[in-house]
Structure 1
Amino acid sequence: MKKCVITIGRQCGSGGHTIGKTVAEQLGIPFYDKKLVQIVAERSGLSAETVRREGEYSSASSLFTSVSSRGYSAYNANQRGNMALPDQINAYQTELIKELADKGSCVIVGRCADYILQGREDCFHVFITGALPDRANRVIAEHGVAVDAARSHVKERDRKRSSYYRHITSAGKDRKAAGDGRIWTQEADDAA
């Protein structure tokens, strides 16, 4: 099989993790989602919880945005200690995502991987979404929370992910419009 890196952007409750894992299993290639958090934690010396909390749901400082817009290669990794914590985590994530893509075929979920790997011919970028009621129902089924709590959780997660993505891309780019494909979750069973 020719090398292929699949990046998956997703809205909360859309099933992006499940779809990504299924695709990776069917293709026999590595799958990275929560595993990215663990690897970054090991490399950075931070706890996995800190990496999870600060890595995809916080707004990074303007320093990382300027680094991202110039490209990571222009960044001196020795300066990480002078960066704000979210920026340090994003620098580790960017470095890791590029390393994994260079290494071979894989599926990477979230963490602006589509943006980090944009322009590469060996990448295919997908965004997974669905109607709010369907996404809230998935959260209810997975976590056993009330309908109102599930809807609030989905909306808040989406808001934070969207804000993070727009900040990292530094162009206010809408990730729903980005990429090579878009999957609605009601099609998810057939999509994988």
Structure 2
Amino acid sequence: MQGNRVITIGREFGSSGREIGEKLAETLGINFYDKELIALASKESGLCPEVFEKQDEKPVNSFFYSLVMDTHGMGQPISGYMDVPLNQKVFLAQFDTIQKLAKKESCVIVGRCADYALASFPNVTSVFICGNMEDKVNRVAETFHMAKDKAMDLIAKTDKKRANYYNYYSNKKWGSAGSYDLCLNSTLTGVDGAVHIILEFLKAKDKENSAK
């Protein structure tokens, strides 16, 4: 196995993606990062956590993004972008934080185009968690104490935001099987079943790689 092991998890809202990621990390004995990335990126970039909360997983203007990424590719630090819009700074700060984490340790990272940020890293496995709508609506309604029609609306809006963000930054399609190493329906597997399947997938991947 080359480098630290990192599992990235994309997820539909209400599909238990976060819970699956947490249990997977616990089983593997590695750290789990979701909202935790906000605190780390805030500390390293000097931007306050509230800024990350507000701008988290939101797409940006394409012209400024191209300009910033061209500069960033040459090693320009985040703090040097004095004229860059705030949401670009947030994305780049999280991008840097994700890469630093992967260099430092094995971990599970949820959302935020982590699979794209780590595309050049040798030991990354990308997973997408989906679920049947009825199951997701029931879970969201119960979790947030809201009516089912409100839960369905929240799911649609949240997934649209996540898809726009992912599609914009990664040049891949959010939720499409071709964008990930493994896609799972948590309605069919349950949380524990999903964790088990991911673990077996990692074993099979390791075996295949060692045979090459």
Q: What's the TM-score, normalizing by structure 2?
A: 0.82
Pairing 1:127–2:128 present = yes
Name the residue aligned to 2:60.
60
How far residue 45 of structure 1 moved from its aligned partner, in angstroms, is 3.5
Structure 1, unpaired ranges of 5+: none
CA distance in 1, matches of 2:27, 2:71: 33
Contact 1:127 1:183 in 2 (8 A): yes
> What count of residue pairs does the alignment treat as equivalent?
188
Of the structure 1 ranges 113-122 and 95-104, higher mean CA displacement relative to structure 2 is found in 113-122
Contact 2:12 2:130 in 1 (8 A): yes
Runs of 4+ in 1 over 6 A off after TM superposition: none
Alignment of 1:10-21 (within 5 A): 10-21=11-22
How far residue 189 of structure 1 moved from its aligned partner, in angstroms, is 2.6
2:73 aligned counterpart, secondary structure: helix
Identity of aligned residues (%): 36
How far residue 71 of structure 1 moved from its aligned partner, in angstroms, is 9.1
Contact 1:60 1:86 in 2 (8 A): yes
Name the residue aligned to 1:175.
174
CA distance in 1, matches of 2:68, 2:132: 35
How far residue 67 of structure 1 moved from its aligned partner, in angstroms, is 4.6
Structure 2, unpaired ranges of 5+: 196-212
CA distance in 2, matches of 1:24, 1:94: 21
Kindly provide the amino acid, as one letter, of the partner of residue 94 in structure 1: F
Q: What's the TM-score, normalizing by structure 1?
A: 0.90
Name the residue aligned to 2:192.
189
Alignment of 1:1-192 (within 5 A): 3-56=4-57, 58-62=58-62, 63-65=64-66, 67-68=68-69, 72-77=72-77, 78-169=79-170, 171=171, 173-177=172-176, 178-186=179-187, 187=189, 188-192=191-195
Structure (1 or 2) with the larger CA radius of gyration? 2
